[in-house]
Chains A and B, each alone.
Chain A
Amino acid sequence: GAVVSQHPSRVICKSGTSVKIECRSLDFQATTMFWYRQFPKQSLMLMATSNEGSKATYEQGVEKDKFLINHASLTLSTLTVTSAHPEDSSFYICSASGTAHSGEQYFGPGTRLTVT
């Protein structure tokens, strides 16, 4: 199956700093990439959808100025958490899709962010 990688797998940062998370599709071109957030024992919540070369579409309640998404190529999307706070601590997961309209997405392994 298609492989999606994320880097870093875990990161600890101080409050007020910014953190960048990379998501790469390794063996296919991802038309669309998605960023999710998962709180403990809860479902995955879609944060934003990004298409290569265009601005990301954010879900209601997600601050676009805080969670900056860049989808510069068909194989790379980045999520930057700016001015991180302890409440931003979470498990962030990206996914990629090479086709439209089926919902079949390939997920990265996730990034555990801890803000101290």
Chain B
Amino acid sequence: DQQVKQNSPSLSVQEGRISILNCDYTNSMFDYFLWYKKYPAEGPTFLISISSIKDKNEDGRFTVFLNKSAKHLSLHIVPSQPGDSAVYFCAAYTDKLIFGTGTRLQVFP
């Protein structure tokens, strides 16, 4: 049973526009939610996190929104840049990290 789901396997966005990556979860006991960026054959790189007691966290071009009633979180990247092209994983944490299946973001000029 997949506790963390990313239903969009891929997303294509024009440079300068907003990228919105979505993630749904089923376990209301998760304490933290995190977003990681991953390039092929490399380990994930931490981007941004949010505590379950908050609904928004912003860091530069990255903002994460949490809707606990809907068990949904999203990552907004604005403005999108070609260097943002990668696979993005959301992850949820109680006593361990549980990853979604990832969304491949492609930012084109």
Question: Would B97 and A46 count as touching, CB distance under 8 A?
Answer: yes
- Given A44-B89, A102-B49; A108-B97 close (CB under 8 Å): no
Residue of B nearest to A93 (CB): B43
Question: Would A49 and B96 count as touching, CB distance under 8 A?
Answer: yes
Question: Would B42 and A109 count as touching, CB distance under 8 A?
Answer: yes
Q: Give the chain B neighbours of A67 by CB distance below 8 A.
A: none
Interface size class of B (residues with CB under 8 A): 20 to 34
Interface centre among B46, B49, B101, B102 (most CB of A within 10 A): B46
Question: Would A103 and B89 count as touching, CB distance under 8 A?
Answer: no
Q: How far is the CA of A31 from the CA of B44 in the complex (A)?
A: 19
- Given A101-B31, A104-B34; A110-B100 close (CB under 8 Å): no
Q: How far is the CA of A45 from the CA of B101 in the complex (A)?
A: 10
Name the prevailing secondary structure of the B interface residues: strand
**Cβ of B25 < 8 Å from any Cβ of A?**
no
**Cβ of A43 < 8 Å from any Cβ of B?**
yes
Contact of A43 among B34, B45, B99 (CB under 8 A): B99
Question: Would B41 and A1 count as touching, CB distance under 8 A?
Answer: no
- Given A42-B101, A49-B96; A106-B32 close (CB under 8 Å): no
Interface residues of A in 85-116 (CB under 8 A from B): 91, 93-95, 101-110, 112
Q: How far is the CA of A106 from the CA of B45 in the complex (A)?
A: 7
Question: Would A110 and B41 count as touching, CB distance under 8 A?
Answer: yes
**Cβ of B66 < 8 Å from any Cβ of A?**
no
Q: Give the chain B neighbours of A93 by CB distance below 8 A.
A: 43-44
10 contacts between A and B (CB under 8 A): A1-B46, A6-B43, A34-B97, A91-B41, A94-B43, A102-B93, A105-B46, A109-B43, A110-B43, A112-B41
- A sample of 19 more A-B contacts (CB under 8 A), given A43-B102, A101-B31, A103-B34, is A1-B46, A34-B96, A34-B97, A43-B89, A43-B99, A44-B89, A46-B97, A94-B43, A102-B32, A102-B93, A103-B32, A103-B49, A103-B93, A104-B34, A104-B49, A106-B46, A107-B36, A107-B43, A110-B43
